[in-house]
Structure 1
Amino acid sequence: MDRDYISKKELLELTGISYGQLYRWKRKNLIPEDWFIRRSTFTGQETFFPKEKIMARIDKIIHMKDDLSLDELADMFSPNLTGSMLKPEELIAQNIVSKATVDLFTQHFGSAESYPFQHFLYAYIVERLLVMGEMSLEEGKGLLQVLESHYPKFQGKPCELIFIRKMGISAFALASNASELYFDQSVKVVSRLNVSSCLEELKTKLKY
């Protein structure tokens, strides 16, 4: 296997967790089934994992399991949206999104006392790109339209947001995480965001 993957033996040695913990977390859906990859080696069959993903996930589990139950962690890591209704002022008070993002959000969705969690996921993604200094407020309007129109089509499946510019014109696309996209040389890929990671981050922030 290449350097992007790590064997189960190496994983257990590096993290200090036990075989039992690893498979308990798998049963509790803290670690996705498709991260357990069986491959043939010169010693027989071995299990490998995508190194960056599994190391980050185990680090989060270890540091959060004293504050959250395994069921709460599983919900946080799940790509499924919650059914919660949230108020804009809650997210501003917790420094999750800025007032500028909320103003943009309410212009798009209209004024209401509370909004579905899914809509605030969109606001959180806009906030991420604004804070990075990679997107203008005007471009944020276009991003909200793309997310509202197309993100529900993924129905909880992992996807990636691709933000590009060509000759000063911006565009956004949503694609499955496995997609390989190629552009001509005049296209600048401004940012690629894993939407599932953004969802996980938002759920984490709302827990505290």
Structure 2
Amino acid sequence: MDIELISKKELLEMTGISYGQLYRWKRKQLIPEEWFIRKSAFTGQETFFPRELILARIDKIVNLKDDLSLDELADKLAGKQGGIELPKSEFAARKIVSDMVWKRWAGLADENERYAFHDMLYLYTADALLQTGEMSIEEGDALISVLREHYPSFNGRPCELVFIRRMGIASFALVSASAELYFDNGVKVVARAPLTDWSEKLVERLV
């Protein structure tokens, strides 16, 4: 699965931001280091970015930078929401996820009576995919398992969820943001999305 790239020159022209702004946002970790991709071009080495991810990120930065400091914005965009938690009963009462999701996976944090942010994110992600109609509730069991086992390994670094299906069998993977993936012709990519998108949407529902 080849990621569409955009050159640095084209990015600056399209968005109207300056070279200095781009690299200041990089230093502040508003834009992940791994999105700066060095590739050979006819003029030599040039910098490219994953087109969809960088354009969405810059749009978000531009829209939020007047209301938040750059440090606050960096935390928001990186999904650093480890301090957010809710009693399970309050999370259920807010109806942030459907009753079907709640009944199926409410026991994610059954060792205590509070949900950490990641527990809520797993439920929210499963609910979002179920709402599209592309994922069954049984396939959601595999999704939850992958998220619980592997999402903590990224430790706040941007990652993407890849949902594929081959011969009717669903599989899920977490990959570093902007990673290029290639599958044989028998694989259908059902969805590929940055988990930071769902993280930010969940935060908006919680605060």
Distance in 2 separating the partners of 1:156 and 1:114? 21
User: 1:140 maps to which residue?
Assistant: 140
User: 1:182 maps to which residue?
Assistant: 183
Using the aligned pairs only, state the percent identity: 53
Greater Cα shift, 22-31 or 3-12: 3-12
Give the aligned CA root-mean-square deviation in angstroms.
3.3
User: 2:21 maps to which residue?
Assistant: 21
Q: Does 1:65 align with 2:65?
A: yes
1:8 positional shift:
2.9
1:59 positional shift:
0.5
Structure 2 residue runs of 5 or longer lacking an equivalent are none
What SS does the corresponding residue of 1:52 show, helix, strand or coil? Answer: helix
Distance in 2 separating the partners of 1:122 and 1:31? 24
| Higher RCO (CA-CA < 8 Å; seq separation 6+) | 2
Distance in 1 separating the partners of 2:60 and 2:117? 23
Task: Give the 3 Å change call, closer, same or farther, for CA 148–113 of structure 1 in structure 2.
Answer: same
1:41 positional shift:
4.9
What SS does the corresponding residue of 2:25 show, helix, strand or coil? Answer: helix
Distance in 2 separating the partners of 1:191 and 1:36? 24
Q: Does 1:127 align with 2:92?
A: no
Structure 1 residue runs of 5 or longer lacking an equivalent are none
1:131 positional shift:
0.9
User: 2:4 maps to which residue?
Assistant: 4
Task: Give the 3 Å change call, closer, same or farther, for CA 202–91 of structure 1 in structure 2.
Answer: farther
Residue 77 of structure 1 contacts residue 200 of structure 1 at CA under 8 Å; is this kept in 2?
yes
Distance in 2 separating the partners of 1:165 and 1:150? 20
Distance in 1 separating the partners of 2:18 and 2:63? 16
Which whole-Å deviations, capped at 9, do the CAs of 1:135-158 have from their partners, x for residues lacking one?
233332332233223333344444
User: 1:191 maps to which residue?
Assistant: 191
Query: What are the residue-to-residue correspondences of 1:103-122 with 2, within 5 Å?
Result: 103-110=103-110, 113-122=113-122
Which whole-Å deviations, capped at 9, do the CAs of 1:71-128 have from their partners, x for residues lacking one?
12101221555232123434763x6422332232314443854211111111111011
**Counterpart residue type for residue 171 of structure 2:** F
User: 1:99 maps to which residue?
Assistant: 99
What SS does the corresponding residue of 2:66 show, helix, strand or coil? Answer: coil
